[in-house]
Amino acid sequence: MVVPLLFFAIISHSEVTEDPIVAASGLWKATPAVIVFHGYEGRTDFEDLKARDLALFGYVAFAVDLYGMAGNEIYNLSTASDLLSKRTTTLRRRILAAWELLKGLSFVDDQKVAVLIPFYAGTNQVGRKLLIRE
């Protein structure tokens, strides 16, 4: 039986400010994980549903809001340009904060972590560097 594990986080100022865990029972061994990052418009139902589907397939699924304001589309769009101009500093730190949080969980196999990150304004380069930096 697959026990889905799905959680969400708001990453703000390089710290995780919210991480409600939806289901975690039944995980007694290290499990492969997937971090689901969002596109320019911020975390939407698409990312949340993608994470849910991955959790149902047996992965630890982690949907991240890098803008720090989940569900606030107006704020997300106004913040996006500023963050994209800081993609090698602020945005990269937030991506790494999500990565470090996930790697630190006892039920995650830190050698089997995938990242879903959209291609926009070079942030996929940050994601690639994140994956090969260790």
- Tokens 């703000």 label which residue? 12
Domain boundaries, the chain: 5-132
**Residue 131: which of 110, 107, 115 has the closest Cα?**
115
More confident residue, 128 or 20: 128
- Per the CB < 8 A criterion, the answer to whether 112 and 33 are in contact is yes
Q: How far apart are CA 134 and CA 52, in angstroms?
A: 27
Indicate whether 1 pLDDT > 50.
Answer: no
Q: In this predicted model, what pLDDT tens digit does every residue of 25-40 receive, in sequence order?
A: 455 678 888 888 877 6
Residue that wins the pLDDT comparison between 68 and 42 = 42
Which pLDDT does position 50 carry in this prediction? 85
pLDDT attached to residue 76: 53
User: If you classify domain 5-132 with CATH, what class do you get?
Assistant: alpha beta
**Beta-ladder partners of 5:** 60
